[in-house]
């Protein structure tokens, strides 16, 4: 029971998805850092010191992976002689392997989110409620979202986290200004949408808010996760785990009755404000 519970947690948290940097020495085909790939067709060969994550893509893999291989909504083909020291985790993915391939860990397959939900209820017991699963599902999607953002702009996310730490109050004030501007724009576009002109602007505004919220949540998660790790004297923590820790803090704050409904908008305001301060050097 303990082992199956652990496997479930690994799936829900994407096994603490790997960090986003890639370092390769082409001469020796040695990949020293974690690899994350979003979309595309990839043919990788060599020795992989850490984890591999493929999201919405295709991977042909040959060589030795000393970490885990995580395949999400993708296709995987293991070539002859390939060895995976860790686990192979497949979520809504297709998988085939040649003979003489070796997987020392477990092969964990989940066909869909519906199947994951069913397994979650079995493993977590009868006490599992829709709210419980909703929490994990929300965490799952937010984590994938902020991980993608961090993968694209890691330096900017870390810079934003520094701004939040050093200029918390100023970020909050600018975040409130941001909210006021958004409310005014929503009202203007809502009025214009009566004449169909404002509908595209409302859609674009909604997408912009979602993206900015993802960037802000990534920065907040990185700050909270790194601060807690530092206070507990954890060293050499990968960025992926830092994001997990920080996002968990945010998610648990969110579900606190009454207080959570106040804290989360404040945190989002601080995050929005930090983005404005980052863009406006003289603010």
The torsion angle over the Cα atoms of residues 218, 183, 252 and 113, rounded to 10 degrees, is -70
pLDDT at 163 > cutoff 80:
yes
Res 132: pLDDT: 54
Q: Which positions ≥6 away from 23 have C-beta within 8 Å?
A: 31, 32, 33
Question: What are the residue ranges spanned by the domains of the chain?
Answer: 2-113, 141-279
Q: Which positions ≥6 away from 254 have C-beta within 8 Å?
A: 260, 263, 264
**Residue 24 backbone dihedrals phi, psi, to 5 degrees:** -135, 135
pTM for this model (two decimals): 0.57
Query: Parallel, antiparallel, or unpaired: how do β-strands 30-31 and 24-25 relate?
Result: antiparallel
Res 166: pLDDT: 92
pLDDT band, very low/low/confident/very high, at 264 (cuts 50, 70, 90): confident
- CA-to-CA separations, 75 to 23, 92, 225, in angstroms, rounded: 23, 9, 32
Residue pair 226/161 in contact (Cβ under 8 Å)? The answer is yes
User: Greater confidence, 110 or 83?
Assistant: 83
Res 18: pLDDT: 39
Q: Which residues pair with 65 in a beta bridge?
A: 48, 84
**Highest-pLDDT range among 131-135, 139-143, 177-181:** 177-181
pLDDT band, very low/low/confident/very high, at 283 (cuts 50, 70, 90): low
Q: What is the pLDDT of residues 3-16, one digit of tens each?
A: 444 344 444 443 33
As a whole number, mean pLDDT of residues 72-98 equals 87
Q: CA 34, CA 43: separation in Å to the nearest integer?
A: 16
pLDDT at 77 > cutoff 90:
yes
Q: What is the mean pLDDT of the chain?
A: 78
Res 149: pLDDT: 87
As a whole number, mean pLDDT of residues 137-165 equals 86
pLDDT band, very low/low/confident/very high, at 36 (cuts 50, 70, 90): confident
Number of helices (H), then strands (E), in the chain: 8, 13
Res 161: pLDDT: 93
DSSP state, residue 74: S
The number of C-alpha atoms within 13 Å of 121 and in the hemisphere containing its C-beta is: 10
Tokens of 243: 């994001």
pLDDT at 94 > cutoff 70:
yes
- CA-to-CA separations, 74 to 83, 91, 108, 255, in angstroms, rounded: 20, 8, 15, 33
Q: What is the pLDDT of residues 116-127, one digit of tens each?
A: 555 455 444 444
SS (H, E, C) 169-229: HHHHHHHHHHHHHHHHHHHHHHHHHCCCCHHHHHHHHHHHHHHHHHHHHHHHHHHHHHHHH
- CA-to-CA separations, 82 to 101, 251, 276, in angstroms, rounded: 5, 39, 48
pLDDT at 152 > cutoff 70:
yes
Res 234: pLDDT: 76
Lowest mean per-residue pLDDT among 58-62, 212-216, 229-233, 253-257: 253-257
- From start to end of the chain, where are the E strands? 24-25, 30-31, 35-38, 41-48, 52-55, 58-65, 69-72, 75-78, 83-84, 88-91, 94-97, 102-103, 107-110
pLDDT band, very low/low/confident/very high, at 112 (cuts 50, 70, 90): low
As a whole number, mean pLDDT of residues 90-113 equals 81
């Amino acid at each position: 029971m303990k082992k199956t519970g652990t496997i479930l947690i690994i799936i829900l948290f994407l096994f603490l998805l790997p960090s986003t940097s890639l370092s390769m020495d082409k001469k020796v085909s040695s990949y020293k850092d974690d690899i994350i790939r979003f979309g595309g067709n990839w043919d990788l060969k060599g020795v992989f010191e850490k984890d591999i994550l493929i999201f919405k893509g295709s991977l042909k893999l040959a060589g030795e992976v000393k970490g885990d291989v995580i395949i999400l909504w993708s296709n995987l083909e293991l070539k002859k002689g390939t060895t995976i020291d860790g686990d192979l985790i497949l979520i809504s993915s297709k998988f085939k392997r040649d003979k003489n391939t070796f997987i020392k860990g477990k092969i964990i397959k989940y066909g869909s989110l519906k199947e994951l939900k069913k397994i979650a209820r079995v493993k977590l017991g009868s006490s599992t409620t829709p709210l419980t699963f909703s929490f994990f599902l929300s965490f799952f999607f937010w984590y994938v979202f902020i991980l993608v953002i961090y993968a694209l702009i890691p330096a900017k996310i870390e810079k934003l986290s520094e701004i939040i730490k050093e200029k918390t109050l100023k970020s909050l004030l600018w975040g409130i200004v941001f909210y006021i501007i958004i409310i005014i724009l929503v009202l203007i576009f809502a009025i214009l949408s009566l004449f169909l002109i404002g509908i595209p602007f409302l859609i674009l505004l909604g997408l912009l808010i979602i993206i900015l919220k993802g960037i802000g949540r990534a920065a907040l998660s990185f700050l909270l996760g790194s601060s807690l790790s530092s206070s507990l004297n954890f060293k050499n923590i990968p960025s992926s785990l830092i994001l997990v820790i920080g996002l968990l803090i945010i998610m648990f704050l969110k579900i606190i009755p009454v207080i959570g409904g106040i804290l989360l908008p404040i945190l989002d305001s601080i995050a929005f404000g930090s983005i404005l301060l980052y863009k406006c050097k003289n603010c």
